[in-house]
Structure 1
């Protein structure tokens, strides 16, 4: 192989390695780093500070955060119980987290995205329609049953809808200790301070009265 070709191959391989390293949470540099929530700042950068090793116990690696079902008595008839680093300090620097989602009949987990993680959905009970849209506005969706999986790529908008007649439960697994959630309806109609009215009317091709009516539906959340 010519020297120039070898250099190009090496550069391509290096780029692939760097891209892979940047695709998930930063790699830990130690065996364990249980989050020290008492000394954590309000805006942590790439994780929380480590608790002193002498203060770490077995309990730091155990959580019942998603053991119980959450109430679904809300307009969407759905509730998410998260086991992220903020509720499960042992996840700090490990690049994983999980959320339990309980859905009443007809329940909808509205379209949303996770800017820092891909999502793997595992249905435990019922039937759940899971779907996501690409940047080309193509929809991929599937009704998922017990013990079946559906994956949502990082950052793409997606939803879950109870497609059965009874309650449904699924767990969503993430390759980030803090995947984040962006829900477009709330990001447009329930921000503080409010989104400029002109932005909303032009975005949705609505009049101010229609936008105000839409905003009022999200005021209680």
Structure 2
């Protein structure tokens, strides 16, 4: 009987190990779903799927926000697919800002590696958590909450952010309000801004109506 039990246990362990899927490298040729990309065939997976060098170079900060975000999400780094993590690089020129935004699908950790970055988030109770971070400091932004980052150094500040999802999602508040065809009167009614200000912001960000 004991030999039979040992045999059955060994069989269960072996079948359990055989059923484990170590990874699901994204098949970028297939459509993405809310749960991520489908898996590329293991026979086509190489070590390069698990290596990404895109965060080594500074982003282009010549934009209206004087900042750049270089993502390392599943779409850029297929090996992350399904693993529940991702990263990005932030480059902020003097006065650069990553405007108020949310990540519906992930919490975020910011690590400052150069300069100083003032960062903060607003809780669902409208409490503000604000701090100027120096090199080596980290700050966490809970999932779904509005947050921002802004450079206060006299030179470009750099940070790296890490997310609890391979596709954290992104919605920038200013763009959601002023970079589309949402009617000006409706924006005014829901934000208490005057129409002249709304039209000016729409003009800057490319919105209409």
**TM-score band (shorter)?**
0.7 to 0.9
List per-residue Cα deviations over 1:137-191 (Å, max 9, x = no partner).
1110111111111111111000111122221000010000000111111001112
CA distance in 1, matches of 2:132, 2:53: 28
> Number of aligned pairs?
188
Picking from 64, 79, 84, the partner of 1:90 is: 79
Q: Report which of the two has the higher share of strand.
A: 2
CA distance in 1, matches of 2:103, 2:34: 18
Residue 32 (structure 1) aligned with residue 32 (structure 2):
no
Structure 2 residue runs of 5 or longer lacking an equivalent are 1-19
Residue 44 (structure 1) aligned with residue 33 (structure 2):
yes
Q: Summarize the Cα distance change of 1:85–1:209 in structure 2 as closer, same or farther, 3 Å threshold.
A: same
Shift of 1:45: 3.2
Residue 200 (structure 1) aligned with residue 187 (structure 2):
yes
List per-residue Cα deviations over 1:50-85 (Å, max 9, x = no partner).
111111111110011211101111121100000000
Residue 118 (structure 1) aligned with residue 100 (structure 2):
no
Shift of 1:207: 4.0
CA distance in 2, matches of 1:34, 1:188: 36
TM-score w.r.t. the length of structure 1 is 0.81
* Residue aligned with 1:203, SS: helix
Picking from 211, 215, 218, the partner of 2:198 is: 211
Aligned residue number for residue 187 of structure 1: 176
Shift of 1:97: 0.3
- RMSD of aligned residue pairs (Cα, Å): 1.4
Q: Summarize the Cα distance change of 1:180–1:45 in structure 2 as closer, same or farther, 3 Å threshold.
A: closer
CA distance in 2, matches of 1:145, 1:207: 38
Shift of 1:198: 2.6
- Name whichever of 160-169 and 194-203 sits farther off: 194-203
Aligned residue number for residue 174 of structure 1: 163
TM-score w.r.t. the length of structure 2 is 0.86
Aligned residue number for residue 4 of structure 2: none
